[in-house]
Chain A
Amino acid sequence: MLRSHILPGGQTHLADRTNHFNFGLKTQEFAVPRGVDPSRFLKSCNNEEGVCIEMNHGTTTLAFKFRHGVIVAVDSRASAGQYLASNAVNKVIEINPYLLGTMSGSAADCQYWERLLAKECRLYRLRNNQRISVSAASKLLCNMMLGYRGMGLSVGSMICGWDKEGPGLYYVDDNGTRLSGRMFSTGCGNSYAYGVIDSGYKEDMTVEEAYELGKRGITHATHRDAYSGGVVNMYHMREDGWIKVCQEDVSELIHRYKKGMFN
């Protein structure tokens, strides 16, 4: 059979190859040295008395559906504790011209797993001769998260795209939560963003109004949340794919918005 030509004799599981992600199995697939147990290590780092490693979720990202597609807006700040590591991080991964993923939580986890998701989406396209649906892509990411449940991953992501069913928006996080909805915001600035976009949202907004709402959501959140800032990176997911709308500095935006306030 063809299989025995490709794989060494006796190996019938794809799982045996290092660094290959195999979803659905209960066994751990991460290539760790023998004797290392990630979940036990993590528990030992979370004691009140001893060493305490705090996972930070410094970010604000938001996405909402409206009549003309999906708006995705993110900030660009990366913090390591109280230190500002960078103000120019790209928190949106362009999976393919019809799929975007946002990142919040641990930068390393998000970048790795979403890049892996991009690989799986490309493989799906090659194997099935059609683009993967947003629902399936988000389910793939969700199952990856569930495979490493309890081992300290920190990922809060929104998968946005346009497929046969129309515009799609899913929220996926490291607990394995996967929710479909019309509006989500993630990161520690999410509550501030929700306040602004909830009160300004109208189903029949024009495209310009939607761009303004997305910018406002991120800007006001970065104003209040110390761990968010930098620039607003905004994308618009349309029927013919996504476009990058703008990249504007939040400090300039907030000055523009506040101009009329304190006169």
Chain B
Amino acid sequence: MEYLIGIQGPDFVLVAADNVAASSIIQMKHDYDKMFKLSEKILLLCVGEAGDTVQFAEYIQKNVQLYKMRNVVPSSKFHFSDITQSVPFVSSQTPYHVNLLLAGYDDADGPGLFYMDHLSSLAKAPFAAHGYGAYLTLSILDRYYKPDLTQDEAMDLLKKCIEELNRRFILNLPSFSVRVIDKNGIQELQKVTVGAAK
């Protein structure tokens, strides 16, 4: 039902998530934000079981803050992916059923996008998606992605994916939040809504 997508360029990462918070057949909110800011240049996109998502994301957020307080230098995103990886399965009596995308910009290593799922698999990838929508859009990303794409080209690629969802996906996802992370930090771009993507 929920959809996350991330596209990494040479010096930025573009991420988008749908804005629907649903309960059975009802859309309870149409402007729900699924992105959680872990630090100035790191975003955690989190979908999955109700309650688990916010609980897990806020837990990681607070732990990152604690780490920053204990250690003077904020760690790179690669370290964060290690922290995050341990948690979904570690409390295996009641594991957190969450699927994540971790996107960030490291001043030394550049941009990075990590795909993580509820079984604690972790993969660094140039582009990634979560949800049923991924079945429709991963091939589009395979076909049109180039490692040196510009921010505008990434935006066009994102719009192509959203168009495909609007055309073929059975569920209505009327709007998507879009953010880009680069050396200047996290910028919120204009939401992509049905009609605008055409």
Q: Does chain B have a CB within 8 A of A181? A: yes
The stretch that binds A, out of B49-57, B74-82, B148-156, is B49-57
8 Å CB interface, A174-219 against B: 175-179, 181, 184, 190-191, 194
Closest to B25 in A: A191
Assembly CA distance A248 to B48 (angstroms): 41
Q: Tell me, rounded to whole Å, the shortest Cβ–Cβ distance linking B131 to chain A.
A: 18
Assembly CA distance A184 to B22 (angstroms): 12
Assembly CA distance A171 to B91 (angstroms): 27
Q: Does chain B have a CB within 8 A of A146? A: yes
Q: Does chain B have a CB within 8 A of A38? A: no
Contact indicator A177/B51 (Cβ below 8 Å): yes
**Residues of B with C-beta under 8 A to A142:** 51
Kindly name the residue among B21, B28, B32 whose own CB sees the greatest number of chain A CB atoms within 10 A: B28
Assembly CA distance A150 to B97 (angstroms): 13
Contact indicator A179/B29 (Cβ below 8 Å): yes
Chain A interface residue bracket vs B: 10 to 19
Contact indicator B21/A179 (Cβ below 8 Å): yes
**Residues of B with C-beta under 8 A to A181:** 28-29
Q: Does chain B have a CB within 8 A of A145? A: yes
Assembly CA distance A191 to B26 (angstroms): 7
Contact indicator A175/B28 (Cβ below 8 Å): no
**Residues of B with C-beta under 8 A to A145:** 51
Q: Does chain B have a CB within 8 A of A149? A: yes
Picked from A176, A178, A191, the residue with its CB within 8 Å of the CB of B52 is A176
**Residues of B with C-beta under 8 A to A179:** 21, 28-29, 32
Contact indicator A146/B28 (Cβ below 8 Å): no
Contact indicator B49/A175 (Cβ below 8 Å): yes
Assembly CA distance A178 to B23 (angstroms): 12
Picked from A26, A149, A171, A176, the residue with its CB within 8 Å of the CB of B28 is A171
Q: Mark B44-68, 1 if CB is under 8 A from A, else 0.
A: 0000011110110000000000000
Residues of A within 8 A of B (CB): 26, 142, 145-146, 149-150, 171, 173, 175-179, 181, 184, 190-191, 194
Between A and B, 18 residue pairs with Cβ closer than 8 Å are A26-B91, A146-B55, A149-B51, A149-B94, A150-B94, A175-B50, A175-B51, A176-B50, A176-B51, A176-B52, A176-B55, A177-B23, A177-B54, A178-B54, A179-B32, A181-B29, A184-B28, A191-B25
Question: Sorted from nearest, which 4 A-B pairs have the closest CB atoms?
Answer: A176-B51, A175-B51, A175-B50, A177-B50
